[in-house]
A = this chain, B = another copy of it.
Amino acid sequence: MTNDLLIKHISRNLTFSKTEQEEFCKYFFLESIEKKAFLLQQGQVCKFEGFVVEGCFRIFTIDKKGNENTLYFAAKDWWLMDIDSFMNHKPSDLNIQALENSKVLIISQKDKSTLYDSLPVAEKFFRIMFQKSIVAWQRRLIRNHSLTAKERYSHFIENYPEIASKLTDRQTSSYLGITHEFLSKIKKKSQAQ
């Protein structure tokens, strides 16, 4: 079952009964996305939430100067959406693009509200997920303020080696908040040592 991964993921955080597991999973359907295809493009309203089963995605914005800014990467076991757009029914600033052929368990916005109503423990589950997510955002902000580009790069490849290995330097640099030219220079320097 493709839902096995989702159930395992839930169980890492909370104990669901068999019935609860089934109720939770029944709203999700599996979708395959080809490399380079977009699950969401800026301007669209995000009407789904996704859980990555296979592959990898990049979530990024494009600013006024045309620079891409990567918010995060989502590999297997990660959730995927534009929360702002999803919550407030407004056009998204984000692009969600597959970095390779991928599979995602999708739940529609409508079904998500139904799920919350029918299964109170789903509220608890997502409340915990969101809490964890905040911790990650806070830590990333502190790293951005207190570490140099080189230190952030090292941190990234050490902590997310599987993701890092799938990326082009341009994608990595847009996550770190530096230019790709400078990343190239950082890499050269660390080789030299």
Contact = CB atoms under 8 A, between A and B. Distances in A.
A65 B146 CA distance: 9
Interface in A113-165: 116, 120, 123-124, 126-128, 130-135, 137-138, 140-142, 144-146
Copies of the polypeptide in the assembly: 2
B138 A67 contact: no
Interface residues of A, number: 31
A126 B123 CA distance: 9
A127 B123 contact: yes
A138 B84 contact: yes
A186 interface: no
A71 interface: yes
Main secondary structure of the interface of A (DSSP, over half): helix
Contact of A137 (B69, B87, B132, B141): B141
A61 interface: yes
Given A83-B131, A87-B131, A134-B130, A144 B141 contact: yes
A91 interface: no
Contacts of A120: 120, 123
A63 interface: yes
Given A84-B135, A130-B131, A137-B134, A71 B142 contact: yes
